[in-house]
Every structure is written in C-alpha cells, then in structure tokens.
Amino acid sequence: MQQQQLRTPDLVEGSLPVFVFPTELLFYADEQASHKQVLTLYNPYEFALKFKVLCTAPSKYAVVDATGAVKPQCCVDIVIRHRDVRACHYGVIDKFRLQVSEQSQRKALGKKEVMATLLPSAAPESPGSRPQEEERRMKEQLAESVFFEQTSFQSESRSGSGGPSLLTVLLGLVCMAALMLPTLGEQESTVPVYLHLSVNKKLVAAYVLGTWPVHAAMPVRASAACLKELLLCCRSSHHGHPAHVRRG
C-alpha cells in the first residue's frame, strides 16, 4: 500500500508537471510540409497517464488520436494538421491544452498549453516588428482562453467504409437476375432451357436478396462467403437435393 502511494502520490488537481515538446507550433502557409506538426508528450513518472487534447479553435485543426494513454517512462507523438490555411488566419494565435490524469481517475493532474500560429512565410520578419510580436505572444500566453474538446481525426490508413462493396452489389444483381429467369418446367419461354431455374434456387435468391441490406454492411470477406454459399445451394438443388439456407 505504501509503495502504491509512492508511485501515484495524492496530487492537487493541476499540480503535476507536464512535459511537452515543442512548446509552440508554427505553421507556414507557403510550406506544405509545415502544415503537419508533431507534439511529443513525455511521461517520466512511474505510473501510466491518460491524456486529452483540447483546443481554442478545434475546427481549424485535425488531431490524430486526441485522447490516449502514455505508459510509465515512455512518450507518445500527437500529430496535428492545420486544415484551414487562409490569409484571414495569419498571425492568429490559437492554443492547445494537453490535460493528463491518472488512468483510474477523472480529475486532471496536470496541464500544459501550447500556442499555435499560422504565418504567411518562414522568411524572417523585420527587426522592428519583433518586439511587438513578442509582447503580443506574452499577453496571449497569460490570457485565459476557452478550450474545446478536439475531435480525434482518424489517420489515413484507417479508411472508413464508403458504402457497400463491389462484391456485395454483384451479389444483389445475381439474385435479381435469378428471380427474373423463368422457372424450370415453363413451356412458353424464349430463354434457353439451361437458364431455367428450379424453385429451390429462386427461394435461395429471394432469401439472399431479402437480407441484402444486411449484406451491404458486411465486409468484403463476409459478402464473398455469402455468394459462395448461394452457389453451393444452387449446385445442391441442381443435383436434386433440397437446398439448405443457413440463417444468421
């Protein structure tokens, strides 16, 4: 019990030092590479921390993994992208706040604010404007700001599903075509006999088509399995065995 208290001391809310690098983010409109910045959060303590990224202007930035955890004596990189690079935002100072807390608690043990500024160019400014800029930054750093939760932005490798897959659409078209073909035994039909389907085959097609909205939400592998099951049912009915449709 005493060892646990030494590892996770009873800290006053907001008193835990937070180690973040860099302490300021500079985005340059004429440098595409600078539109993506990386904040590194360090955890030098012997207990795990969870973090949350807040921002005064969350709509202007995309933060990959705005919440997460840092293992003891480890660090984590937080990718921040500026997605509203316009001239009207030049010189505007926004703030990010990193709040950290213990894994089992909700109260913020510590916080660190990082300023973010969009500049038109990386070229050095005139010497006369530098003292005024420094003074403005100091005032902005001391001023109280309203922070909002930053929505996590999924990385490019996690592509969201944009509708039913091509295989799922093909499955629906095959079922519709099967229902439109004549039934085996019909005499007055111009369709070749080998395209006449038995009642069992049409029942299978009707069942799959009836559950097509469910299949549309399936991944490609599940849709392929469903199409394979349909073909197996058709083959079994062709050999005179009753087709068995698996539900669920």
pLDDT tens-digit readout, 140-154: 655 665 666 666 554
In sequence order, what are the beta bridge partners of 41? 20, 76
Long-range pairs, 1-9, Cβ under 8 A, ≥24: 7/46, 7/47, 8/47, 8/102
Backbone angles phi, psi at 144, to 5 degrees: -80, 135
Per-residue model confidence (pLDDT) at position 4: 43
Per-residue model confidence (pLDDT) at position 21: 93
**What pLDDT digit, counting tens, does each position of 216-246 carry?**
544 545 555 555 555 555 555 444 444 444 4
Per-residue model confidence (pLDDT) at position 163: 57
DSSP type of residue 92: -
Residues of the chain with pLDDT under 70: 1-14, 125-165, 208-248
Per-residue model confidence (pLDDT) at position 182: 79
Find the helix or strand (DSSP H, E) in which 82 lies. Answer: strand 74-82
Backbone angles phi, psi at 100, to 5 degrees: -120, 150
Per-residue model confidence (pLDDT) at position 213: 53
C-alpha distances in Å from residue 64, one per residue of 36, 52, 101, 217, 220: 11, 11, 19, 26, 27
